[in-house]
Amino acid sequence: MEENDPILERRAREAQASKEKTLRALMIAMIVVALALGCVLFYVWKQKSALVSDLELEKQELTQQMVALQEDYNTLSSDYDSINSQLDTSRAEVAQLIERLKKTEATDRAKIRQYEKELGTLRTIMRGYITQIDSLNTLNHKLTADAAAARREAAESKKANEELTQQIQDLTGQVAAGSVIKARGISLKAYGNSDNRTVDRSSRVKRLLTTLSLVENDLAPRGPVRVYIVVRDPDGIILTNNVRTSFDFQGETRVASASREVDYEGAEVDLAIYLNDIDQYVKGLYTVEVFTEQARLGSAELLLR
């Protein structure tokens, strides 16, 4: 048998040992690399998970902001149809934005940022609505207050005019009443054959005489005034003769027993009016009423036996 060469064997063992050492070093290096890669992958996964969690949180917060904006829009109202129409459009846009956000992945950063911008725009629009509604409400309140003030002023003016009109009417009435000619001392007497002798027996009466005085009145109109007497017998029948006399009083035509015209200049005037040519007189109470066409001046009575 051949003997092994110790040198070759030693070299072979050294080569084997070197090879094993190299393999162990390579294995250790691979393990280290694998461990490092695992750590890196774990770190990357952890960072990604944290990022996804943050993005989900941002999406939730954005969703809450949109819902809050939607509630704010729902609280807005106006008395103007044009603004209400615009509000309805904006409410629909907010609702659509919420639905789009729900369907979008949190990792889609581009769309999330786009939705944030749209949310900001809708907020700005809402602030514009609030300002516009407040301005219109303020203007409406001012116009309402002005209208109420105008109505009050109109009512006060109307009341003042009515009061002034009433005062004018009262004064006019007072002037009219004050301008009416009045009389005093009205009397009715009976005379027989002698004009200067009064009688009280019906069988002796030939004529009746009414005397009176038109009192002084500076407000009364000047000029001719006709005075009418209406004499009634005890049965209430108006005594008249062949001279038919009538006058208008308060829109009614009345029969007079006799009349006389005098010139009235505001000073007191005495006058007498005879009633002649009555066929007969009966016993009883006779009355006389004295008129002008503007007023009833008074009355008097006469008792015949």
Q: What are the two backbone dihedrals, phi and then psi, of residue 246, each rounded to the nearest 5 degrees? A: -140, 165
For 38-52, 114-128, 130-144, 260-274, which range has the lowest pLDDT when averaged over its residues? 38-52
Rounded Cα–Cα distance for residues 118 and 133 (Å) = 22
pLDDT at residue 233, rounded to an integer? 96
pLDDT at residue 45, rounded to an integer? 61
pLDDT band at 1 (very low <50, low <70, confident <90, very high): very low
Q: To which H or E segment does residue 38 belong?
A: helix 6-75
Q: How many helices (H) and strands (E) does the chain have?
A: 3, 9
Q: Look at the alpha carbons of 98, 102, 103, 105 in this order and tell me if their dihedral is positive or negative.
A: positive
Contact yes or no for 273/291 (Cβ under 8 A): no
Structure tokens at 31: 């393990």
Contacts for 81 with CB less than 8 Å, ≥ 6 apart: none
Cα 228 to chain center, whole Å? 58
DSSP classification of residue 202: G
Rounded Cα–Cα distance for residues 302 and 146 (Å) = 72
Closest-CA residue to 206 (of 188, 190, 229, 187): 190
Amino acid letter, residue 227: V
Closest-CA residue to 90 (of 127, 144, 141): 127
pLDDT at 132 over 90: no
pLDDT at residue 195, rounded to an integer? 66
| CA distance to 56, 168, 255, per residue, from 175 (Å) | 96, 10, 29
The predicted model gives 190-197 an average pLDDT of 82
Amino acid letter, residue 16: Q
Higher per-residue confidence, 239 vs 100: 239
Mean pLDDT of the chain: 84
pTM of the model: 0.47
Residue 286 class from Cβ within 10 Å (0-12 exposed, 13-18 middle, 19+ buried)?
Answer: buried
For 93-102, 153-162, 172-181, 276-285, which range has the lowest pLDDT when averaged over its residues? 172-181
Contact yes or no for 231/286 (Cβ under 8 A): yes
